[in-house]
Amino acid sequence: MIDRGRHNVLGIGIDAVDYPAAVDRIALAASASESCSVSALAVHGVMTGVLDSVHRYRLNQLDMIVPDGQPVRWALNWLHHCRLKERVYGPNLMLKVCERAAADGLPIFLFGGTQQMLDRLQSNLLELYPSLKIVGARASLFRQLNPEETAELVAEIRSSGAKITFAGIGCPRQEIWAYEFRDDLSMPILAVGAAFAFHAKMLSQAPEWMQRHGLEWLYRFTREPLRLWKRYVFLNPLYLLLLLMQKIRLKTFIDQDPSPPATQLRFG
């Protein structure tokens, strides 16, 4: 079990942990009914915070951010000598947390995606972990919620008896969701990106060799070029340039912004 603390990567605090440490922290918080907001960030997720100081504040208030992408793991090792041998990939983290939840009797709630995706996701998770307790699932409305809808969603999750909530509504909305709902729910909230679509078998994952060499972005780009080209053509080179500037101390990246967002967005 490896937990080498939180480190500044372009102003975002990333936790140098492995799967056992991350899962253990989540399971302990769930058993104690304590808040534990978690995100798994790849390069795009990190850059959303780099380019938006308000969102950077939100990210740095989360309880744990794990290095989802290989380039984020490499940054931890290069900048801070963390010696991490593997990343903590969001879709795999979701499965490992579900496995632990099934073993410990911790019920889960699934929030996000479409109803079709949730139906497939629940079926596939129960096939993998028959003793897993899925006590609720709610599809996203793909918009902001009004106060009444927000209260209804919170009440639904709390009354379900869930001890862990998984949020799969896309980056950066799911990180905003985890930040805004963490105190309302008092349980671990895991923002797990495309994990819902992957485990529902509605989106294919990159081959293992591409994942291992940090080429997952290329695989996804070839499948959704019109949607993703700006993300990878501009953000990936900028990420590398800024890392170099941080490494040689040409630029300082502040990881503690002075004030919280003025308003809540309450995506649902």
CATH number at residue 35: 3.40.50
Q: Is 247 inside a domain boundary?
A: no
Q: What is the mean pLDDT of the chain?
A: 93
User: Rg for the chain (alpha carbons), in Å?
Assistant: 18
Consecutive sets of 10 residues in the chain, 268 residues long: mean pLDDT of each?
Answer: 97 98 98 97 95 94 96 97 97 98 98 96 98 97 92 96 96 96 96 93 86 82 78 88 96 80 86
> What's at 229, amino acid-wise?
W
Q: Is 140 inside a domain boundary?
A: yes
Q: Is 239 inside a domain boundary?
A: no
Tokens 């909530």 found at = 165
Determine the pLDDT at residue 258. Answer: 66
Q: Is 263 inside a domain boundary?
A: no
What range defines the domain where residue 129 resides? 3-199
The Cα 177–Cα 227 span in angstroms is 22
Determine the pLDDT at residue 127. Answer: 98
Determine the pLDDT at residue 105. Answer: 98
Q: Is 152 inside a domain boundary?
A: yes
Q: Give yes or no for a contact between 184 and 52, defined as CB atoms under 8 angstroms apart.
A: no
Q: Looking at the 3D structure of the chain, how many domains does it have?
A: 1
| Predicted TM-score (pTM) above 0.85 | yes
Q: Is 266 inside a domain boundary?
A: no
Q: Is 261 inside a domain boundary?
A: no
Q: Give yes or no for a contact between 232 and 224, defined as CB atoms under 8 angstroms apart.
A: no
At residue 218, the 3 state secondary structure works out as: helix
The torsion of the CA quartet 56, 13, 205, 177, rounded to 10 degrees, works out to -40
Q: Is 243 inside a domain boundary?
A: no
